[in-house]
A and B are shown apart, each in its own frame.
Chain A
Amino acid sequence: MPQAKQPDDGDGVQIDLVSGARMDGLTSMEKIRLILDGVHDGNIVILEEGLSPDEESKLIEVTMAEISPDEFNGIEIETYPRSDTRDSSFLGRLVGGDSSNAKLTAIGPANQIETLHKDETLISALVSRN
């Protein structure tokens, strides 16, 4: 599977938009690894279709196991409430494909994302470079 090229300099925040098609072929642990490896690198990972509830539960467990003082404080994760997910999500239209189960999900390092506002239709977040 092709890997994203890493940026040369330390400025800016890398955002990985991961299509549902790319996640479809992965096992639960591979999905969690893809997310947490990206987050450990300081990236913001945006999933077109999100995770199943069971995968979300395991993501919390694995995240907890990887928290380390002064190194990794955990993750910030944002999705819309499930019932309000629309078929024609912005990212769904952007990357194409069937997004009928889409639950747009953004995940990043807890020390770099701060949620400013969240309701059923809007998530507003501040992303910083540490």
Chain B
Amino acid sequence: MGLLKGLKDSISRATDRLFSDEEPKRIGIYGPPNAGKTTLANRIARDWTGDAVGTESHIPHETRRARRKENVEIERNGKTVTIDIVDTPGVTTKVDYEEFTDEMEKDDAVRRSREATEGVAEAMHWLREDVDGVIYVLDSAEDPITQVNTMLIGIIESRDLPVLIFANKIDLDDSSIKRIEDAFPQHQTVPLSAKEGDNMDEVYDNIAEYFG
């Protein structure tokens, strides 16, 4: 019975999507470098599709190309919300290859920095042209009042895009959710640890409510 019901539900979802006028919304995962964007994208993709999106690393600018995971179906309270998640490179106004020379040879560091600058430009282009909503990821152990965060939230607001702020890394000792809530009181802040999988139920409830 369970198998038949699962098959029936699956066919029903596919039929709904086939005859729906709406394309899945593209939700961009934005934020500064090393906030845990790819870890979050992988967590969401693995939870609902079984696949990962990209490689995670402690070295900044590991993600240097925007990557889209299509048709991620999130089930909440008997409903299914289908979104495309777009993992984007961390946004910054400066890139110095010397940041990477402790971890790699100079040639590789220079190449990484060049790819990182292209990735940031690509992320900005996606934001202006190709996303329908934004998950803004912040490291809750870091000060959220930075120029990049202030500027990006302003850009997102000016485009009238729905935005959720994810206070990531709540597993760290220095984490402060209140600091983020105080910095951006006009937006819903959702605490989580993408790495540990903490509070993911609330994460999915909010994604379904905001972007469904």
- A: residues with CB less than 8 A from B are 52-54, 56-58, 60-61, 63-65, 67, 69, 73-79, 81-82, 110-111, 115, 118-120
Q: Tell me whether A74 and B94 are in contact in the complex, defined as CB-CB below 8 angstroms, given that A56-B151, A64-B120 are known contacts.
A: yes
List of A residues within 8 angstroms of B97 by Cβ = 69
Which of B7-15, B152-160, B164-172 forms contacts with chain A?
B152-160
B117 contacts partner chain A, Cβ-Cβ < 8 Å? yes
Listed by A's residue number, 26 A-B pairs whose Cβ atoms lie within 8 Å are A52-B158, A53-B157, A53-B158, A56-B155, A57-B128, A57-B155, A58-B124, A60-B151, A61-B120, A63-B93, A64-B117, A67-B117, A69-B113, A73-B94, A73-B95, A74-B94, A74-B95, A75-B93, A77-B93, A79-B150, A110-B96, A111-B96, A115-B147, A118-B147, A119-B145, A120-B145
CA of A52 to CA of B158 in the docked complex: distance in angstroms?
A: 9
CA of A75 to CA of B117 in the docked complex: distance in angstroms?
A: 12
Are B117's CB and A53's CB within 8 A? no
- B: residues with CB less than 8 A from A are 91-97, 110, 113-114, 117-118, 120-121, 124-125, 127-128, 145-147, 150-151, 154-155, 157-159
Are B121's CB and A61's CB within 8 A? yes
List of A residues within 8 angstroms of B147 by Cβ = 76-79, 115, 118
Are B124's CB and A57's CB within 8 A? yes
List of A residues within 8 angstroms of B96 by Cβ = 73-74, 110-111
Prevailing SS type, chain A contact patch:
mixed
Are A60's CB and B124's CB within 8 A? yes
Are A81's CB and B150's CB within 8 A? yes
Are A76's CB and B93's CB within 8 A? yes
Q: A67-B95, A118-B146 are in contact. List 11 more A-B contacts (CB 8 A).
A: A56-B155, A57-B124, A57-B155, A60-B124, A61-B120, A61-B125, A64-B118, A64-B124, A77-B147, A81-B145, A118-B147
Residue of A nearest to B110 (CB): A69
List of B residues within 8 angstroms of A111 by Cβ = 96
Are A54's CB and B154's CB within 8 A? no
**One of B121, B146, B159 near A65 (C-beta < 8 A):** B121
